[in-house]
Structure 1
Amino acid sequence: MRLKEDLNPTLLLLFRLVVWFYTVVTFLPYQLYTWASVSVGDVCGSEEERAKKAKARSVLGCPEGPYRAVGATKRLVTSLHPGVDTLDKMFEYAATRFPDRDCLGTREVISEEDEQQNNGKVFKKVVLGEYCWRSYHEVFAAASQLGSGLASLGQQPKHNIAIFCETRAEWIIAAQACFMYNFPLATLYSTLGGPAIAHGLNETQVTHIITSRELLETRLKAILIEVPRLQHIIVLDDTPTSWPGYPRGISVHNMAAVQKLGARPENAAQQREQPLPSDIAVIMYTSGSTGIPKGVMISHSNIMAGIAGMAERIPNLCEEDTYIGYLPLAHVLELSAELVCISHGCRIGYSSPQTLADQSTKIKKGSKGDTSVLQPTLMAAVPEIMDRIYKNVMTKVEEMNCLQRTLFTLAYNYKLEQFTKGHSTPLCDRLVFRKVRSLLGGRTRVLLSGGAPLSAATQRFMNVCFCCPVGQGYGLTETCGAGTISELWDYSTGRVGGPLVCCEIKLKDWVEGGYRSTDEPHPRGEILVGGPNVTMGYYKVEAKNQEDFFVDENGQRWFRTGDIGEFHQDGCLKIIDRKKDLVKLQAGEYVSLGKVEAMLKNCPLVDNICAYANSDETYVIGFVVPNQKHLLALADQYGIQGSWEELCNTEAVEELVLKVLTEAALAAQLERFEIPRKICLSPEPWTPETGLVTDAFKLKRKELKTHYQEDIERMYGGK
């Protein structure tokens, strides 16, 4: 994606002269540096040359596959190190190898205060200090004591225990304690509502739960009467030390008190039951985007295979790396990413979406966000967060004066041109993009995107402005988050790479949707993932297990994803559709709602969008969370006055936004029947707290339909 060049010819000539002079002066040193720094096996060359490099191949030579990574051994990879086949062994290996290195870090809270906004709302703002670190040895000891303490409180091996908590260092410590003592860990999103929490706790029949003080008081306390088996609540915060007012039969303990109990000689000396690779490590409850959350049973061997596959795609991963953890640890992407880091001795600094950057909502103006202080080298992100960064930076570019905007545009397009040729641009990186790169701390060398498709515009922007590769991945909870990750030297957009070394992928014809493995030029079909990372199935949902999982004639386990993909000639997979997102209109046309949303989210006027279609109707409609700055500018351009809520509920504004969206849809080459004909504007953003999106910011279509039912009827003429 090139930026529009509306430039002064003199400036353009001057810029190109500077670039030419710089290129001539640095040509020889650059060539020598490149030759010296490229190790054996690294892939160089232009984008066209990189695209020809095979990433995967069909093992049987059939268009439907199965496809495996090029260079993969005859057997799929199952672990990182010989003999390290369970998560407790993996952590013990790391603690033995890196005992004194920093492991988990948390920022000190210096002050908190309430700040009133112009609209009357009050936001809590914080000033945070430096990161306080615990070494691998300290974390291992803390986990061991906590596990021993839980056993002393009656928690039995192979009996489920729940964790309902925000992402923080204590989450990982608690998880490692459970892995050590073979307590299957049921994970629940911290944003789940009361009925979903009660469902998960009752289905897994837990007697012990690990949570935070805030969630205990705001969420869990209200539903305790609905969870009769619960006996012990372990709170990860140190205060208070006593917990009055809880139902009879329920004891509340501080984490520190449970660790002290576990450290007693008579308890510490107890023999623990070590897990087998086939034992359940995690029962991971999904975010419930399509109804009641389902618990996915994940064994130790499943996770070990998944993280081994992921680690192979991150070059030079080592103890010098720093990872920033802020996505929900109850999500398979974040848990897998952190376990990959721990297995290699990296340090993990914790954050949250509200404190991530200097401009984040909870950071007091003038103080530093977490990325500025931590300066991570590794980071995982969902497309929603990357899209926000892209739009925020582009808004700032629009606000620049003419000279600044011209230089930025020239530098962007010049780097993009060099980028496709396989050349680096150290001058542009240093003089133009350093400030943009500093938004993520300035040292990020790998960005991993997962959870949903990443738009081509955002991916190109992140590659150019943040001066690091963006690895797009594909995986599901049912496959331990592992499926594919693009090679970091492959800068092509819209694709998710080839299969990881721990799994293989097949395409199954979906005749109803018109996708077949015999399609030209690329074979297409439903994506099936097979390998040791494919999980044990859904907890207590046997009918769904029969539908979604199967074992082939070789004893390998497979999962039917419901996603539609196509394989390109170089072995890269592209996600092109989803069975559940496909709606057949009254006239017989199939509309991919996900495709429509992905195209229209690139429009600067859109912060979020949900496309909707009723099969009894002839057209698509949409719900849109508009970008406040762009919408106010649009309204002002046409002389429309009113508050934010009034503007969003004004028919004239809806028509203006619809016109802009239609133009964007046509530019993106959507078919006429795919373009929303009517829209509804939402003044309130969709966050996990509203219940309209998951913690990974995926749309909850069922909840959105219920929330906007009256608007749906209005847009479909009262039907």
Structure 2
Amino acid sequence: FLRMRLKDDVNPVVFFLFRVVVGIFSVISYARSVTGRPAGPYRDVTSLDGLATCLQPGLNTLDRVFETSAKRFSRQDFLGTREVLREEEELQESGKVFRKVVLGEYRWLSFEKVYRAASSFGSGLAWIIAAQACFMNNFPLVTLYSTLGGPAIAHGLNQTEVTHIITSKELLETKLKVQLQHIIVVDEKPTSCVGYPRGISVHNMAAVQALGVKPENASRPRQLPAPSDIAVIMYTSGSTGVPKGVMISHSNLIASIAGMAERIPNLGSNDTYIAYLPLAHVLELSAEMVCVAYGCRIGYSSPQTLADQSTKIKTGSKGDTSVLQPTLMAAVPEIMDRIYKNVMMKVEEMSTLQKTLFILAYNYKMEQLAKGNSTPLCDKLVFKKVRALLGGRTRVLLSGGAPLSAATQRFMNICLCCPVGQGYGLTETCGAGTISQLWDYSTGRVGAPLVSCEIQLKDWAEGGYRNTDKPCPRGEILVGGPNVTMGYYKNEAMNRENFFVDKKGQRWFCTGDIGEFQADGCLKIIDRKKDLVKLQAGEYVSLGKVEAILKNNPLIDNICAYANSDESYVIGFVVPNQKQLMALAEKRGICGSWMDICNNSVIEEEVLKAITDTALSGQLERFEIPRKICLSAEAWTPETGLVTDAFKLKRKELKSFYQNDIERMYGGK
């Protein structure tokens, strides 16, 4: 009953009573400590007798999950991509010319066709098919972000002694000194070997597929994987240092998707998932494997073509969400923050009457959600156009990868008319840890532990966090269970530092994140050990906390807070919102190019004042507020190397990039 999906046509009285019941039992309905101690470990109340390890008996490896789904959903659509009809150049207001695309409808492959393609290894939707082919034949798969850069990619390929690589012509780095034997290029056209080192064979996907269907190869018995075999060595892009290869077994991934699927009601073949994050990201891999297991369609997209207003979509043509109309979506906060700010900018441009009606409807719905009531009239008359930004059919939106601000989460719940489940997980835990219940409209929390893992809190005296703290226990988050991975590839020192096995034989990972368990068993992330900087006077500043609050300012698209331990104040690097900043410059009578505006000292001071106001309203301490800032005319993208593919800040690279500005803002020290 508590997992029923509430629709707009439910009687408001019944809906209200339902929420009252949930409210009464919320203190014991999510998770509790299995030992009774404030340190935990904490488990979902439905898994107190044991942790879930698989979706159903017998399906304990990824190839068995795929094979079962291929039989069960054989003729149903599975993987879809849009055809590029044409590319055109479009002149921007700034004078720059961008190449834009016009895309057609989605074209689909059925489960049966994808299974056959994976069996013979090849065809259009290469990555997921190649991945399934590796899972089916027990070939360990290594994933590397293209944006890691040449040296980091070479490190991963050399460390794992890769013999075969699957890539595109655009991404292939021929100068890498690695021991490759075969390069498989994702292209149906014949591939030339000119320019490649001797001893390396170059193939296209069609050639590999043709090789696979030959009788002598098709009849070759597969080497079936065991649950404990490595499925993926996933190199984390990381925010600092050399990327680490996380060893993920079949059983790790199976446990992870079992835990995630339990939090999403009514999963099935009527669902369509939009996939736009890289499959080298653990959130995306886990989400797509959930879709494989439950027969959901997967339509492929990219951050540049996601919505009608996306950067590569030609003005007037449709983005991927409008065409696909997905019901399920996983999103990193950066993407959701963009949607939130774009809509709020349009609200600012409305007439006084329209703006007043929108704000009234927004506040009214927020009050009704708090009471447990639905608002079908408001949804239809006011929020329908906003909901259409993601296709109009989204029923579950999962957020992960970084903290989601309360303002953005509240906006998504209200304007997109669908629940936002905020989750917490890491590559080292297969992306699994917690996901909030979909009926929980509270903000700033990441929910209770999934049924496949448990969480405990470890004292961190240096930061002042203890699991005996009142009213809520606090400490470093440790995740334990079958989803905790096998460790880092060829890195025993870091394995000893970050992983351990308890007396019961259960494996644990020390996350470095600081959390607190609230009365109903929900976890809240409050700090991170690596983001904590001690200022000259002894105050501790959580850089991530500062950034999360300041990103609520409409002038800011992205921000990186920075502090030296031998200095007394925080500084910041800011990527401003171009439309908002140009409007501010016009208001102050300042003219010039975008670069001129960003380098203008008056504008810099105006932005700093706005940041300070946001910081104070967000209840930051005075010592946490940046005293000086630098405005960046260039956006931070994975291609610039300053953020990861999940848009997490790369602090080491940012520090190096802005070194001259750091010295300037700290008075030349």
TM-score in terms of structure 2 length? 0.97
Q: How do 1:240-259 residues align onto structure 2 when only pairs under 5 Å count?
A: 240-259=190-209
- Give, in angstroms, the shift of residue 47 of structure 1: 8.4
Residues 47 and 117 (structure 1), Cα distance of their counterparts in 2 relative to 1, 3 Å cut: farther
Distance in 2, matches of 1:49 and 1:489, equals 14
- Give, in angstroms, the shift of residue 85 of structure 1: 0.4
SS, match of residue 45 in structure 1: helix
Does structure 1 conserve the Cα–Cα contact (< 8 Å) formed by 2:19 and 2:371? no
Residues 380 and 587 (structure 1), Cα distance of their counterparts in 2 relative to 1, 3 Å cut: same
Distance in 2, matches of 1:48 and 1:493, equals 15
Whether 1:460 aligns to 2:460 is no
Amino acid paired to 2:46: G
Amino acid paired to 2:150: G
Counterpart for residue 322 of structure 1: 272
- Give, in angstroms, the shift of residue 245 of structure 1: 2.7
Counterpart for residue 114 of structure 2: 139
Residues 449 and 343 (structure 1), Cα distance of their counterparts in 2 relative to 1, 3 Å cut: same
Does structure 2 conserve the Cα–Cα contact (< 8 Å) formed by 1:587 and 1:618? yes
Counterpart for residue 698 of structure 1: 648
Q: Deviations over 1:313-354 (max 9, x none)?
A: 000011110000001110000000000011000000000001
Whether 1:272 aligns to 2:222 is yes
SS, match of residue 462 in structure 2: coil
Does structure 2 conserve the Cα–Cα contact (< 8 Å) formed by 1:47 and 1:492? no
Distance in 2, matches of 1:301 and 1:43, equals 37
- Give, in angstroms, the shift of residue 54 of structure 1: 2.5
Does structure 2 conserve the Cα–Cα contact (< 8 Å) formed by 1:478 and 1:535? yes
Counterpart for residue 68 of structure 1: 43
Distance in 2, matches of 1:271 and 1:571, equals 48
Distance in 1, matches of 2:86 and 2:131, equals 30
Distance in 2, matches of 1:241 and 1:321, equals 38
- Give, in angstroms, the shift of residue 578 of structure 1: 0.2
Q: Deviations over 1:218-238 (max 9, x none)?
A: xx12x23x11x1011111221
Does structure 1 conserve the Cα–Cα contact (< 8 Å) formed by 2:253 and 2:286? yes
Amino acid paired to 1:682: S
Counterpart for residue 435 of structure 2: 485
Q: How do 1:630-649 residues align onto structure 2 when only pairs under 5 Å count?
A: 630-649=580-599
Amino acid paired to 2:133: A
Q: Deviations over 1:427-478 (max 9, x none)?
A: 1111111100000000000000000000000000000000000000000000
Whether 1:113 aligns to 2:88 is yes
Counterpart for residue 214 of structure 1: 170
Residues 703 and 666 (structure 1), Cα distance of their counterparts in 2 relative to 1, 3 Å cut: same
Counterpart for residue 16 of structure 1: none
Does structure 1 conserve the Cα–Cα contact (< 8 Å) formed by 2:53 and 2:255? yes
Aligned equivalent of 1:92, options 64, 67, 72: 67
- Give, in angstroms, the shift of residue 33 of structure 1: 8.2
Amino acid paired to 2:400: G
SS, match of residue 44 in structure 1: helix
Q: How do 1:279-678 residues align onto structure 2 when only pairs under 5 Å count?
A: 279-678=229-628
Q: How do 1:29-108 residues align onto structure 2 when only pairs under 5 Å count?
A: 32=11, 44-45=19-20, 49=24, 51-52=26-27, 54-108=29-83
SS, match of residue 541 in structure 2: strand
Q: Deviations over 1:37-67 (max 9, x none)?
A: 99xxx96338855754521000010001000
Distance in 1, matches of 2:495 and 2:344, equals 45
Residues 573 and 480 (structure 1), Cα distance of their counterparts in 2 relative to 1, 3 Å cut: same
Distance in 1, matches of 2:132 and 2:513, equals 33
Counterpart for residue 18 of structure 1: none
Q: Deviations over 1:476-518 (max 9, x none)?
A: 0000000000000011000000000000000000001000001
Distance in 1, matches of 2:308 and 2:21, equals 36
- Give, in angstroms, the shift of residue 213 of structure 1: 2.3
Does structure 2 conserve the Cα–Cα contact (< 8 Å) formed by 1:46 and 1:420? no
Q: Deviations over 1:523-546 (max 9, x none)?
A: 000000000000000000100000
- Give, in angstroms, the shift of residue 30 of structure 1: 5.2
Distance in 2, matches of 1:279 and 1:179, equals 10
Deviates most, 117-126 or 75-84: 117-126
Distance in 1, matches of 2:534 and 2:373, equals 46
Q: Deviations over 1:605-627 (max 9, x none)?
A: 11100000000001000000111
Residues 124 and 34 (structure 1), Cα distance of their counterparts in 2 relative to 1, 3 Å cut: farther
Amino acid paired to 2:49: K
Distance in 1, matches of 2:116 and 2:133, equals 10
- Give, in angstroms, the shift of residue 305 of structure 1: 0.3
Structure 2 unaligned runs (5+)? Answer: 1-7
Distance in 2, matches of 1:467 and 1:169, equals 32
SS, match of residue 574 in structure 2: strand
Residues 34 and 352 (structure 1), Cα distance of their counterparts in 2 relative to 1, 3 Å cut: farther
Distance in 2, matches of 1:646 and 1:112, equals 31
Does structure 2 conserve the Cα–Cα contact (< 8 Å) formed by 1:47 and 1:490? no
Structure 1 unaligned runs (5+)? Answer: 1-28, 150-167
Deviates most, 474-483 or 110-119: 110-119
Distance in 2, matches of 1:30 and 1:143, equals 43
Amino acid paired to 1:282: V
- Give, in angstroms, the shift of residue 120 of structure 1: 3.8
Does structure 2 conserve the Cα–Cα contact (< 8 Å) formed by 1:278 and 1:301? yes
Does structure 1 conserve the Cα–Cα contact (< 8 Å) formed by 2:32 and 2:44? yes
Counterpart for residue 203 of structure 1: 159
- Give, in angstroms, the shift of residue 409 of structure 1: 1.0
Distance in 1, matches of 2:286 and 2:387, equals 26
- Give, in angstroms, the shift of residue 632 of structure 1: 1.4
- Give, in angstroms, the shift of residue 662 of structure 1: 0.7
Whether 1:122 aligns to 2:97 is yes
Deviates most, 310-319 or 108-117: 108-117
Q: Deviations over 1:134-185 (max 9, x none)?
A: 00000000001018x9xxxxxxxxxxxxxxxxxx832110000000010000
- Give, in angstroms, the shift of residue 271 of structure 1: 1.2
- Aligned residue pairs total 662
Counterpart for residue 3 of structure 2: none
Counterpart for residue 10 of structure 1: none
Whether 1:174 aligns to 2:149 is no
Does structure 2 conserve the Cα–Cα contact (< 8 Å) formed by 1:47 and 1:491? no
SS, match of residue 214 in structure 1: coil
Aligned equivalent of 1:188, options 144, 152, 155: 144
TM-score in terms of structure 1 length? 0.90
Q: How do 1:150-169 residues align onto structure 2 when only pairs under 5 Å count?
A: 169=125
- Give, in angstroms, the shift of residue 34 of structure 1: 7.7
Distance in 2, matches of 1:79 and 1:536, equals 17
Amino acid paired to 2:157: L
Distance in 2, matches of 1:464 and 1:680, equals 34
- Give, in angstroms, the shift of residue 70 of structure 1: 0.9
SS, match of residue 587 in structure 1: coil
Q: Deviations over 1:407-438 (max 9, x none)?
A: 11111111111111111111111111110000
- Give, in angstroms, the shift of residue 288 of structure 1: 2.9
CA RMSD of the aligned region, Å?
1.7
Distance in 2, matches of 1:561 and 1:141, equals 40
